[in-house]
Amino acid sequence: MSTHHELDTLRATLNRALDDLRAELDAMQLPPLSTTSKERHPLDDPNYLPSRKLYHSRGLALGGYSVHKSSQKAHNVRWDLFQACMGQLKSLIQNPFDHAVEQSYAVFETAAIESFVQTGIVDVLAGSPDGVHVTDVQQHLDLSSTRCLTILRYLTTHGWVRECKEGTFALNRPALALLEGNSARSWIAFSHKPQIAMALVPWLQHKEWRHSSSHVETAFQISHSTELSYFDWMKQNPEYMRMFSIGMQSLGASHTQGIVADFPWHELETPTVVDIGGGNGSLAATVSKHYPHLRFIVQDRPPVVDQANKHLLSVAKDAYEAGRITAEPYDFFLPQPHTGDEYSFMFRHVLHDWPHDKAVSILRTVARAAGQKSKILIIERISALGRYPSYSCLPEAPKSPLITNGYKQERYTPFIPENLGAASRVTHAITLYLMSILNAHERTVTEWTALIEEAGLRVVKVHALRSPLSLIECAVMA
């Protein structure tokens, strides 16, 4: 073992990951990556679906299945390994004081990108690919050029823009994803996170609420000075609700290709899938396009069902008109009207909104309705542990499947935590967010198993998807 074992191992892992990326680009005949390219790269598409074993989602929107199949021959690029290695190298090397200072300013990362998108600076820059001087930004938008300069220079440190000459900025390739019509734009428009995040400390130390598990005693109520629950508050703020729906749609859409490609839908023995809390039905619509022999029923609260009917008519007209996909109002705390062997049930991004007892009660309702042939499909992010296998567990084999960001680790990677560190930061940020607004959280495989069994179901298999989500296939107890 060399003296610099950890540093050398991480460097070698990063190099291997970069070599794999290069090989994948060649195998897929993709153009070289360039920060300053004026066009989006195929890999920038949230629907790009990379090779199979590797990391995950980003399905091929345009190619759909055929490209997915050919990509199986391609190399095994681990997108998450890049982030994980870079995160580990950073914490290995960076001065801890600098790290603390950097993290304390992180709230300005959110503020800067929201300013960039919501004030329209990104659109002004998009109009002139070779660069726009901040005084021209001022003219276009009536914003202070000095403030724009400070924001834009900050954004150069995140790679969104470059400074072509002093005070003149141009969009880098990644920023093209922030233009109108792209899901990253919709996501950024769905704002308000810093406000809630800043209520975390007072909430943790709140005299009465510090141990509460109520969904109306959270950081959200503190930050928004309201007694209403997050969802009830949203009902009274329709503009926020609209942004929420668009944000959720964009997030959901970016995960859909992996769900379609990596679960064996053709093996379902039931002709109908009930999508409980199915929102506007976009997941059901996409799966139904690939598996026309399946019927789908989208269930949700009445106002959402109205939106679902409109959405389904526009995105899945044939299936909708043929009655292969329908939407109906349903409250998932009441008995499920569809029972027996004809039905399977799915939940995506639903159970993570609810604390343990409520989630058990939602699942129990399904357990009572399901037949022996029914499958219950739970599609969620799965939290993994932050322990370092390199020190404690190697070469011991994992006792339960290790699912991280939807990727099943076939073997441990030394010096990278099981949750892949920086690569799972979003999953852990989402769980902080859910905790702060609903007293809910993302769960580990162990937590999911306990919850599922308490509801009278059993886990059949956890499917790793090319998506940050995993699919937990369940059935009724034998």
Ligand X SMILES: C[S@@+](CC[C@H](N)C(=O)[O-])C[C@H]1O[C@@H](n2cnc3c(N)ncnc32)[C@H](O)[C@@H]1O
Q: Applying CB under 6 A, which residues contact ligand X?
A: 248, 252, 277-279, 283, 300-301, 304, 330-333, 348-350
DSSP β-bridge partners for residue 379: 348, 471
Distance in angstroms (rounded) separating the CA atoms of residues 432 and 436: 6
- Cβ 282 to ligand X, closest distance in Å? 6
- Cβ 332 to ligand X, closest distance in Å? 4
Count of alpha carbons within 13 angstroms of residue 75, beta-carbon side: 17
Pick the closer one to ligand X by CB: 21 or 438: 438
Pick the closer one to ligand X by CB: 137 or 304: 304
Pick the closer one to ligand X by CB: 83 or 280: 280
Pick the closer one to ligand X by CB: 46 or 278: 278
**What is the rounded end-to-end Cα distance, in angstroms, of the chain?**
51
Q: Give 93's contacts (C-beta < 8 A, 6+ positions apart).
A: 7
Pick the closer one to ligand X by CB: 305 or 422: 305
Distance in angstroms (rounded) separating the CA atoms of residues 137 and 116: 11
Nearest Cα to Cα of residue 329 among 353, 308, 349: 308
Pick the closer one to ligand X by CB: 136 or 380: 380
- Cβ 381 to ligand X, closest distance in Å? 12
Distance in angstroms (rounded) separating the CA atoms of residues 197 and 170: 32
- Cβ 278 to ligand X, closest distance in Å? 5
- Cβ 267 to ligand X, closest distance in Å? 22
Pick the closer one to ligand X by CB: 333 or 391: 333
Encoded amino acid at 310, one letter:
K
- Cβ 13 to ligand X, closest distance in Å? 33
- CA 235 and chain centroid, separation: 24
- Cβ 358 to ligand X, closest distance in Å? 9
Nearest Cα to Cα of residue 372 among 339, 346, 347, 348: 339
Distance in angstroms (rounded) separating the CA atoms of residues 230 and 228: 6
**Residue at token pair 């944000």:** 247
Degrees to nearest 5, angle at CA 257 with 290 and 382: 125
